[in-house]
């Protein structure tokens, strides 16, 4: 199994530009999570999906952030327009629905730098 796949691994962009982060969860996993990690705030849950449906987006910081999951094997996190304070490592994680104890499997992350 390839595990959770994220792309790109690194992204450097200028303030005001649109950024799209991509995630492919582990096949058969029904829950998908987007996290953001910074030194100041630690690991924050942004949004999670269950069976492709957004269940809780209360962690999404602003309207500039949006996430979609058009099918069971793909999700995107978009930031438009990006700002320097969005610089962070963004992780995608997936979890099998059948696992009631919700162990999560993390991708390698996307390191975003907004200049």
Partner 1 sequence: SQQGEEDPQALSIQEGENATMNCSYKTSINNLQWYRQNSGRGLVHLILIRSNEREKHSGRLRVTLDTSKKSSSLLITASRAADTASYFCATGPTNDYKLSFGAGTTVTVRA
- Judged by the rule CB under 8 A, the positions of this chain that interact with partner 1 are 4, 31, 33, 42-43, 45, 48, 50, 55-56, 91, 93, 95, 101-109
Smaller CB separation from partner 1, 78 or 111: 111
Smaller CB separation from partner 1, 42 or 70: 42
CB of 64 to partner 1, least distance (A): 22
Smaller CB separation from partner 1, 17 or 91: 91
CB of 1 to partner 1, least distance (A): 14
DSSP-derived secondary structure letter, 80: S
Contact 15, 83 (CB under 8 A): yes
Query: What DSSP line would sit under 9-70, residue for residue?
Result: SEEEE-TT--EEEEEEPPTT--EEEEEEEETTTEEEEEEEEETTEEEE-TT--STTEEEEEE
Smaller CB separation from partner 1, 9 or 18: 9
3 state SS of 99? coil
CB of 13 to partner 1, least distance (A): 20
């Amino acid at each position: 199994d390839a595990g959770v796949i994220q792309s790109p691994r690194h992204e450097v962009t200028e303030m005001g530009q649109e950024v799209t982060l991509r995630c492919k969860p582990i096949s058969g996993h029904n829950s998908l999570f987007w996290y953001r990690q910074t030194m100041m705030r630690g690991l924050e849950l942004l949004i999670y999906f269950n069976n492709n449906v957004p269940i809780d987006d209360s962690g999404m910081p602003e309207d500039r952030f949006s996430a979609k999951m058009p099918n069971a094997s793909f999700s995107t996190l978009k930031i438009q327009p990006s700002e320097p304070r969005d610089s962070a490592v963004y992780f995608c994680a997936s979890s099998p629905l059948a696992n009631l104890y919700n162990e999560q499997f993390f991708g390698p992350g996307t390191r975003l730098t907004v200049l």
